Structure 1
Amino acid sequence: MSRTRSVTASALGVDRRTVLAAAGAVTLTAGTGYALRPAESHAATAAGTPPAGPSGASGAPLAATTAAPAAPLAPYTRGTTLDSVATPRAGGPYRRLGDGPGWKRVVRDELAAARSGRAGRRTTLAAFVQFTDLHLADTQHPLRVEYLRSFDSHLWRPHEALTVQGAISLVERVNALRGGPVTGAPLGFVMTTGDNTDNNARSELEWFMKVMSGGRVRPDSGDPRHYEGVQSSGLKLYWQPDSAVRDADKRLGFPHLPGFLAAATREVNSPGLHVPWYSTVGNHDALPLGIYAPGDPYLAEYAVGGRKLMSLPAAEARKLQDSIKSTRDPRGVRLRELLKAHTRDMRPVTPDERRAPYTPAEYVKAHLDPAHRGAGPVGHGYSPANLDAGSQYYSFRVADDVIGISLDTTDPGGNYQGSIGTAQLTWLERTLRENKDSYAVVFSHHTSASMDNTRPDPGRPAERRHGGRELVALLAGHRNVLAWVNGHIHKNLVTAHSTAGGHAFWEISTASHIDHPHLARIIELTDNKDGTLSLFTTLVESAAPHRTDFADLSQTGLAALYRELAFNAPGALPNLAGSAADRNTELLLKKD
């Protein structure tokens, strides 16, 4: 691939373009290609829409990343999983966590040979951080289906009341990082790849925006004086932290923690990210429960109402779970019938309009709200053009030689698996073609293997939907694509894609921040100046200490407890960290 812009290295191997990574809001029409310049983002709009000004609708100056520190930074390990990883100590069945050895970096050369001396030659193209699957959860929300636990223990998480505290601690970790662990390059931005919220609730969307951009957050809804979720129900099916009742989780060693629920719903403060951040939408952000097509009036009313179902016989729970997994009930008919049949079994809770589902337009508007700008950019990738077009995908300039592309892989027709429509696929192909002289990193929520839901979009019933195989083929047809970065599967997995006669690229899937081991990923792109490129991936945990103190119910103490409770959650999958080759890596590519 020819390059019209060269990469000039500093003495530290940090390219000046990495300082420019980050954002503003500038429209890109679907019918016309505009050259992406540093500090621009482009939404996909209806053909013929004129581009907005480079400062976005507000006219405010564009965000910029923190300047690179003067002292050499790289390589370093402190604050990353190269240095230390939360590790279970002896004992059981409930195991306390402590400091453990870090994970080594693995060189993967399936797509290009590793050449000696590259560390001394390389220059930096970009460095950024990926968050994914934060699942900020309003745990008192009536529409939650905790009662599925009667059939399968892992279908409810005992630590979900601490998602906000855990996410803030992750923000604190990124703010404390010294730059890219390999290159020392300043971190240009954070991209969150979807499932930022858990129940498609307005309360959760507000918490997410404040966690990322800074502010005071009270992770509570309903009656501010009393917790009204399953953890104060007295039901032995769930961990009752404040009560001495011998529930199922306490029999497994979970602690009795008086005051836990009051502490979990107490107001906390997020400093907000100190670098620009971008947002990608996931199925839990767009669909009630991350599963059902939006717009059902009964479910919407139930979400804000004064009744909540908290228990269900195991046989009925199994039938509901089977209907979800089978994907044959995208509109939630089975759930609606079940709730109506169990009206008398519901418990009273305080109604709250903040629990209402939000629409795609409201999601975009929240990002455009000046109150949530933080370190920028305006709209965090989205622009007014997205509102005009009813879209949630866009492109943005990462650095002079790199663009980012954020996709919307959620199917509005329902189902937790993904796909994209023909209009978006056409836009993606055109964006890659018109920016052929820039490397490209593609972001989405779903992975290639989880994009197998091609149910029609109710808003565009005649439009074809496209799955993961077609997307892999499209990306392999463009020699500027370096990586596809995603989440959804809650597991670290790095996949080499190389199709016959096509270009090779890496798919980087990162574990969630709701299930242990609670990770985010730093990604550094480098030119090795020997005909190869390297993508370095380094996992990080939150800033919370590995060791917990049951007497410490402070914001930091709860963030540490969040990790430990998740590790001990009944039925938690033990393999979500992935193999060593899916964690801290150097991923080599031929420079086409």
Structure 2
Amino acid sequence: MSRTRSVAGSTGPHRRSLLAATGAVALSAGAGYALWPGDGRAAAAEGPAPGAEEAVPASSRRAPAAPLAPYTRGTTLAAAAVPRRGPGYRRLTEGPGWGRVVRDELAGARSGRTARRTTLAAFVQLTDLHLIDTQHPLRLEYLRSADVHAWRPQEALTVQGAVSLVERVNALRGAPVTGSPLHFAMTTGDNTDNNARSELEWFLTVLSGGRVTPNTGDPRHYEGVQNSGLRHYWHPDTALRDTDKQLGFPHLDGFLAAAVREVNSPGLNLPWYSTVGNHDTMPLGCYASHGDSRLTELAVGGRKLMDVPAAEAHRLQQSIKKATDPGGVRYGDFLAAHARAARSVTPDERRAPFTPAEYLRAHLDPAHQGLGPVGHGYSAENLDAGTQYYAFRITDDVLGVSLDTTDPGGHYNGSLGTAQLRWLEWTLRENEDSVAVVFSHHTSTSMSNTHPDPARPDERRHTGEEVAALLGRHRNVVAWVNGHVHRNAITPHTGSGGSFWEISTASHVDFPQLARIVELVDNKDGTLSLFTTLVESAAPHRTDFTDLSQTGLAALYRELSLNAPGARTDLAGDPGDRNTELVLRKR
């Protein structure tokens, strides 16, 4: 038995009754702490090992010992959105499902395993939801004058799209391959888009349940680029012949009023955990500017820049890509220099950036508990230590580890500090008899940013290559699940002690707007298999331009993302990056 106590509760007769208590047993900040059910407070353990043996298990479900009936309805195995043929703006329709690809680079797939296998864990990964406050004064829409894909026409509908994804997860009646109940959902970062309190409130409400009004500023009407009169933005409500309408984008009377109307989310019907991304940590996902009062004042203030010359937009975009201004000092100067060109909008304190501590407190708020666990993985110990990483029990035999790969020094790519890297090593070693699934926002190839952490200037930062090497030294690691790159990609890794699969999933803001179900099974032949199955939101594939209901807007969100000018067409990945069986040796 692992030294970290399981939080897998007894299997009950109904999903919503399975969470009798909403605490989670967690390892946070490199010390052993147990979250006791119901209060979200950390109880200190003696010594470095977790002292959670007496904690009441809760927040996950024990998978059945034997395979159940597969359930593929609503997954991309059954059907997937495809564009209809034709030039210009492309309408979506329902197309054939994507088949499953067996990948055996790490171990051979042995015959007869289907009849032998038992389920160890099953969960859903949501990633890069990017809930967007489109009227926020700090947004970078004006970069579109230099780069057409710097602004997306679908951005006003992120809340409706996320609610539809929640509805899809809730409609699943079991895991696609094994029929196992789903243990939990994990969001792997960039839950918000601009580190804004408004966006954080919307994200937590969408996942835990409740009503959201995706509007800030003037409650009576929209104040953003889509009614600005500037031709390089799609103006759905007006007759303006903007550049997107010239490509076939529709005229939709009432679109903006519908986009900021109240939305109702049922909340996920299973426990969910949270992992932090760079857009959750820094304004614009790249500026380490929490000590800069100028950006906070601009965020909540009454001026919004919507248009700059293409040459200036290009220079700003290059400074972001090359991380020449990680603290956002020159960006503040840039906004000050263009103050006269900024337009008047209604000030709103809800647009203020949130700090890491505020991010943690919001997760621990009982108003956002949903089906738990309390804190959604984060604990009061995280608050005390100033950390956003933790470990948790999925089942008695499976450990989950959530990392914080954001670099507080600035820039959108990530890294790990030495303290967290040592904690990760210790956690895997102390739980070496458990299968381990690691979650992060960044991929191994996007952890190339080693700017010093301003709070820990003497601490070394470590790249994705170093993290992959560490995971490869531990034979119990089977998967590293992440996002950030907005593209489906599955990569085998072989290390000095074992091998594991890196599973990167596309975003829910860019087409094809996907989430992923992962099932871990023991084949009872010396191998394990990870089954990955992609799912779309519950919105219909076909859109109706006259339907501006919550569901109709969610469908339109998907179709607009397909047609976004400059959007990449390879984000679904190859067939071997989508619905798969990933085989590896059991260590």
TM above 0.5, one fold?
yes
The answer to whether 1:498 aligns with 2:511 is no
Deviation of 1:73 after TM superposition, in Å, equals 5.2
Determine the structure 2 residue equivalent to 1:140.
135
Partner-residue secondary structure (3-state), 1:182? coil
> Following the alignment from structure 2 to structure 1, what is the Cα–Cα distance between the partners of residues 201 and 114?
43
Q: CA deviation at 1:31?
A: 6.0
1:277 matches 2:272: yes
Q: CA deviation at 1:465?
A: 0.6
1:544 & 1:475 partners in 2: Cα distance?
38
Q: CA deviation at 1:46?
A: 12
> Residue 170 of structure 1 aligns with which residue?
165
The Cα offsets for residues 363-404 of structure 1, whole Å up to 9 and x where unpaired, read as 011110001000110100001000000000000000010000
Q: Is contact 1:132-1:194 (8 Å) kept?
A: yes
Q: CA RMSD in A?
A: 2.9
C-alpha displacement at 1:333, in angstroms?
A: 2.4
Alignment partners' CA distance in 1, 2:545 and 2:47: 59
Count, aligned residues: 573
The answer for the alignment partner of 2:71 in structure 1 is 76
Aligned letter for 2:270?
Answer: V
* Structure 1 CA distance for aligned equivalents of residues 545 and 509 of structure 2: 20
Distance between the aligned counterparts of 1:180 and 1:262, measured in 2? 38
Aligned structure 1 segments of 4 or more residues deviating by more than 3 angstroms? 2-5, 19-23, 25-56, 61-70
Distance 2:387 2:44 in 1: 7
Match of 2:100 in 1: 105
Pairing 1:507–2:506 present? no
Q: Which segments of 5 or more consecutive residues in structure 1 lack a partner in the other structure?
A: 6-18
Provide the rounded CA distance (Å) in 2 between the counterparts of 1:331 and 1:156. Answer: 23
**Structure 1 position 62, deviation (Å):** 3.9
Q: Distance in 2 between matches of 1:528 and 1:288?
A: 45
Between the two proteins, what is the percent identity of the paired residues?
A: 72
1:256-267 matches, cutoff 5 A: 256-267=251-262
1:589 alignment partner in structure 2: 584
User: 1:71-220 maps to which residues of 2 (within 5 A)?
Assistant: 74-220=69-215
Secondary structure of 2:333 counterpart = helix
Q: 1:44-443, aligned counterparts within 5 Å?
A: 62-65=58-61, 74-295=69-290, 296-443=292-439
Mapped partners of 2:178, 2:204: distance in 1: 30
The alpha-carbon deviation at position 334 of structure 1 amounts to 2.6
How has the CA–CA distance of structure 1 residues 45 and 234 changed in structure 2, closer, same or farther, with 3 Å as cutoff?
farther
2: distance between equivalents of 1:30 and 1:221?
35
Cα distance, 1:26 vs. partner? 3.8
Q: Is the 8 A contact 1:94 1:568 kept in 2?
A: yes
Q: Does 1:453 align with 2:438?
A: no
Deviation of the 1:502 alpha carbon:
3.2
In 1, distance between residues paired with 2:32 and 2:386?
A: 19
Query: For 2:497 and 2:335, how far apart are their aligned partners in 1?
Result: 50
Check the 8 A contact 2:446/2:464 in 1, yes or no: yes
Partner of 1:475: 471
In 2, Cα distance between the equivalents of 1:118 and 1:380?
35
Is the contact made by 2:2 and 2:431 (CA closer than 8 Å) also made in structure 1?
A: no
Structure 2's unaligned 5+ residue stretches are 5-17
Distance 1:69 1:226, change over 3 A: farther
Distance 1:43 1:314, change over 3 A: farther
Q: 1:64 to 1:430 in 2, by over 3 A?
A: closer
Counterpart CA distance in 2 for 1:83 and 1:306 is 48
Tell me what 1:563 maps to: 558
- Cα pair 2:164 2:538 within 8 Å, conserved: yes
Q: Deviations over 1:218-265 (max 9, x none)?
A: 000000011001001111110001011000000000000010000000
**CA 1:100–1:180 in structure 2 vs 1: closer, same or farther (change >3 Å)?**
same
Q: Is the 8 A contact 2:3 2:49 kept in 1?
A: no
- Calculate the TM-score normalised by the size of structure 2: 0.93
Provide the rounded CA distance (Å) in 1 between the counterparts of 2:119 and 2:210. Answer: 33
Letter in 2 for 1:431: T
- Cα deviation, residue 437, structure 1: 0.6
